[in-house]
């Protein structure tokens, strides 16, 4: 006897990376930013007026929308605020997919997408990337109502050129959601596409580039018709007053943001080189993590690192079993990881 819908009863829920209580663990497993958020964010949090909490927040987050619109060269009406980028993914699957309206995406990618399809009870069409993680041509031919391309992709850290995404948007009859949770660390992004395509939605997150994973704030950028449709189905006050105020302060501090990103990119290059010297195959990363391919199954390595107090991410799937996904940490954390790997005899 179950009270749940059949698909929910059978569902294996999304498995988030571990969040250990032990502060001594070196956490390189969930792509958090190793540096603190902007001092302007801390200032906003210290000075929250209780009056702001007594009242409901702005339902559409208009002050944040105006600030973000200015940065991206779009209108505030092109932006929807969400409770993390994950909420935007969930809203889109709810809005566009159904039993006869598929969700399509290239694989391997963010492992939340198939879970959202199962919750919505819609078909999930998975098109494998090739070895170089080029955009699969077949993705344009799935007839899906919603196609998601994670760019830069997780967990591969690879990047598809924006002109290829433009061609895909042009060919698709349905909506193309470009998950740019990691775009802050890449050389290019797809925001310009929303001017030419009324079927493109861009996802942005403050969890990675802005060091605010704990705040739970993200946003979508799209043609205003798509934004208005998504607004119809969101919770009335999906982004809370504290998150809206802190997120606005974060995106407005451009100097702090770009310094933070540059520090991570520099460390990313050093980490990549050091892992390659130890014998890992590491493709160029366009994100704040690297994918390190070992010469055989990497599960033992993952477990040994965990026992040594260093958490990285491992998936036991055919395409990923020989790989570790390692978040770029501080110089000290990255050095500790390399030292530990050397201690294992590499």
Ligand X SMILES: Cc1ncc(COP(=O)(O)O)c(C=O)c1O
Q: If residue 335 lies in a helix (H) or strand (E), which one and from where to where?
A: helix 331-343
Q: At what angle do helices 254-277 and 331-343 cross, to 10 degrees?
A: 10
Cα separation of 47 and 43, whole Å?
6
Q: Which stretch binds ligand X (CB under 6 A): 33-41, 83-91, 93-101, 273-281?
A: 83-91
Segment lying near ligand X (by CB under 6 A), choices 78-86, 229-237, 293-301, 320-328: 78-86
Distance of CA 32 to the CA centre of its chain: 10
Cβ neighbours for 52, distance < 8 A, ≥ 6 positions apart: 241, 242, 245
Among 144, 181, 226, 246, binds ligand X (CB under 6 A): 181
93 binds ligand X (CB under 6 A): no
250 lines the binding site for ligand X (CB under 6 A): no
Among 86, 120, 223, 267, binds ligand X (CB under 6 A): 86
Asked whether position 205 contacts ligand X by CB under 6 A, the answer is yes
Residue indicated by tokens 């991206």: 72
Backbone phi, psi, residue 194, to 5°: -70, -15
Contacting ligand X within 9-48 (CB under 6 A): 31
For ligand X, give the closer residue by CB, 218 or 274: 218
C-alpha of 158 from chain center = 13
Asked if 238 is part of the footprint of ligand X (rule: CB under 6 A), the reply reads no
Longest dimension (CA), the chain: 59
Q: According to CB under 6 A, which one of 60, 105, 110, 294 is a site residue for ligand X? A: 110
The answer to whether the beta carbons of residues 276 and 269 sit under 8 Å apart is no
Least distance (Å) between residue 107 CB and ligand X: 13
Single out the segment in contact with ligand X by CB under 6 A; choices: 80-88, 192-200, 220-228, 315-323: 80-88
**Smallest Cα–Cα separation from 339: which of 267, 278, 290, 280?**
278
Interface residue with ligand X among 34, 85, 136, 329 (CB under 6 A) is 85
Among residues 84, 106, 108, 329, the one that binds ligand X under rule CB under 6 A? 84
The residues that touch ligand X, with contacts defined as CB under 6 A, are 31, 84-86, 110, 150, 154, 179, 181, 205, 207, 213, 218
């Amino acid at each position: 006897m179950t009270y749940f819908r059949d698909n929910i009863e059978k569902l294996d829920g999304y498995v988030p990376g571990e969040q250990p209580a032990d502060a001594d663990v070196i956490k390189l497993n969930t792509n958090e930013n190793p540096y603190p958020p902007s001092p302007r964010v801390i200032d906003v949090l210290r000075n929250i007026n209780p009056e702001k909490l007594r009242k409901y927040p702005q339902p559409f987050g208009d002050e944040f929308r105006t600030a973000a619109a200015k940065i991206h060269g779009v209108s505030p009406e092109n932006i929807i605020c969400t409770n993390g980028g994950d909420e935007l993914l969930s809203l889109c699957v709810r809005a566009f997919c159904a039993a006869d309206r598929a969700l399509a995406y290239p694989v391997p990618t963010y492992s939340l997408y198939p879970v959202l399809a199962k919750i919505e009870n819609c078909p999930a069409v998975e098109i494998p990337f090739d070895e170089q993680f080029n955009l699969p041509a077949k993705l344009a031919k799935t007839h899906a109502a919603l196609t998601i391309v994670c760019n830069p992709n997780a967990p591969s850290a690879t990047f598809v050129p924006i002109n290829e995404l433009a061609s895909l948007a042009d060919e698709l009859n349905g909506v193309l959601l470009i998950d740019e949770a990691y775009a802050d660390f890449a050389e290019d992004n797809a925001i310009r596409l929303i001017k030419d395509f009324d079927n493109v939605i861009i996802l942005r997150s403050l969890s990675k580039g802005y060091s605010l994973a704990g705040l739970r704030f993200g946003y979508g950028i799209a043609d205003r018709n798509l934004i208005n449709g998504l607004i119809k189905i969101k919770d009335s006050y999906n982004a809370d007053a504290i998150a809206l105020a802190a997120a606005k302060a974060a995106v407005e501090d451009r100097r702090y943001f770009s310094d933070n990103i540059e520090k991570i990119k520099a460390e990313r290059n050093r980490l990549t080189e050091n892992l390659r010297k130890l014998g890992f195959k590491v493709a160029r990363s366009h994100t704040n993590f690297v994918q390190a391919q070992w010469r055989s199954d990497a599960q033992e390595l993952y477990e040994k690192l965990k026992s040594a107090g260093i958490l990285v991410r491992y998936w036991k799937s055919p395409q990923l079993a020989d790989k570790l996904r390692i978040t770029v940490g501080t110089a000290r954390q990255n050095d500790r990881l390399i030292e530990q790997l050397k201690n294992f005899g590499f």
